[in-house]
Amino acid sequence: MDDPFIALDDPPVRVRLRVSSRARRFTLRLDATRGGAVLTLPPGVPLAEVRRFLMRQSGWLARALARVPAQIAIAAGTRLPVAGTEVEVCLRDGPRRAPRLESGRLVLSGPAGLPLGPRIAAFLKMRARDALVPTAHRYAGMLGRRAPTSVSLRDTGSRWGSCSTAGRLSFSWRLAMAPPAVLDYVAAHEAAHLAEMNHGPRFWALVERLMPDYRDHRAWLKRDGRRLHRFRFEPD
């Protein structure tokens, strides 16, 4: 079941309400993957209190939304990055085939009218998995750590990767659109968490050991990473 939501008029935005037993206060953020915003709140909060909070935050929401690039729905002719290089989505008539890169184009074949977004998302997930799994394992080995217990891919809006205390790594499959060195940096970052579950000096020393120029790739994510979230792969 989808989360409930509140539609605001000023600014015009849909705010999804996510009730969490672990929440102790209101937490409002933009939803990079689905658009709109998400308000996390404790159980049992009256709806009137939620509305008053959102009214107080209307200025912040308006400013934050103004900084978000407009979303782009995937269709024939859309240009999007794959491994840091912009390509054009091209649909050809014929038997349905998996997406493939050909001379600056991302080519799909099949009957007209079928949604292209889910097929391209699956293509990007496959590329992300093929790149991230061996890279994360390699970096773990370079640090003398055991291999990750698992590597999963998600469409997360707030972080590019994560590492659990059990050694499970998770990554955003949208990294398949980023330059390969940026993807490698995120793999190195999460592999370093297998040794240091923090962001202290020893952690960053491990990241630098794996990737001496990591600061450049970290800066790219801070500067350009949000652009990877503007592409909408779900069909209307």
Residue 219 resides in a domain = yes
Whether 130 and 175 map to the same domain: the answer is yes
Same domain for 200 and 136: yes
What's the pLDDT score for residue 234? Answer: 85
Q: What percent of the chain has pLDDT over 70?
A: 98
Do 62 and 76 fall into the same domain? no
- 126 & 25 share domain: no
pLDDT tens string 104-136: 999 999 887 788 999 999 999 999 999 999 999
Residue 131's H or E segment, with its range, is helix 117-142
CATH code of residue 149:
3.30.2010.10
Q: What average pLDDT does range 10-21 have in this prediction? A: 90
Q: Do 175 and 224 lie in a common domain?
A: yes
Taking the CA atoms of 143, 145, 147 and 150 in sequence, report the sign of the dihedral they define: negative
One domain, residues 104 and 127: no
The H or E element that residue 73 is part of is: strand 72-73
Q: Which of 10-24, 104-118, 176-190 has the highest mean pLDDT?
A: 176-190
Q: Are residues 127 and 194 in the same domain?
A: yes
Q: What is the pLDDT of residue 2?
A: 62
Whether residue 76 is predicted with pLDDT greater than 70 in this model: the reply is yes
When pLDDT is averaged across residues 220-227 and rounded to a whole number, the result is 92
Least trusted range by pLDDT, from 27-41, 47-61, 202-216:
27-41
Please give the C-alpha separations between residue 80 and each of 15, 90, 123, 125, in angstroms, as whole numbers: 27, 12, 13, 15
Q: Are residues 19 and 47 in the same domain?
A: yes
pLDDT band for 157, please (50, 70, 90 cuts): confident
Q: Let me know whether 17 and 34 are in one domain.
A: yes
Q: Decide: helix, strand or coil at residue 201.
A: helix
In the 8-state DSSP scheme, what is residue 230?
A: G
On whether both 31 and 15 belong to a single domain, the answer is yes
Q: Please say whether the beta carbons of 127 and 82 come within 8 A.
A: yes
Domain of 12 in residue numbering reads as 5-66
Partnered with residue 7 across adjacent β-strands are 14
Look at residue 125 and tell me if it is in a domain: yes
What pLDDT, on the 0 to 100 scale, is given for residue 30?
84
> Would you say residue 141 lies in a domain?
yes
Is 156 among the domain residues?
yes
Helix (H, G, I), strand (E, B) or coil at 210: helix
Which residue, 104, 192, 175, is CA-closest to 140? 192
Number of domains into which the chain is organized: 3
Q: Are 100 and 107 in contact (CB under 8 A)?
A: yes
Length of the chain: 236
pLDDT value of residue 236? 62
Q: Report the relative pairing of strands 85-92 and 79-82 from DSSP bridges.
A: antiparallel
Does residue 235 lie within any of the structural domains? Answer: no
Give the pLDDT confidence of 28-47 residue by residue, as tens digits.
Answer: 988 866 778 999 999 999 99
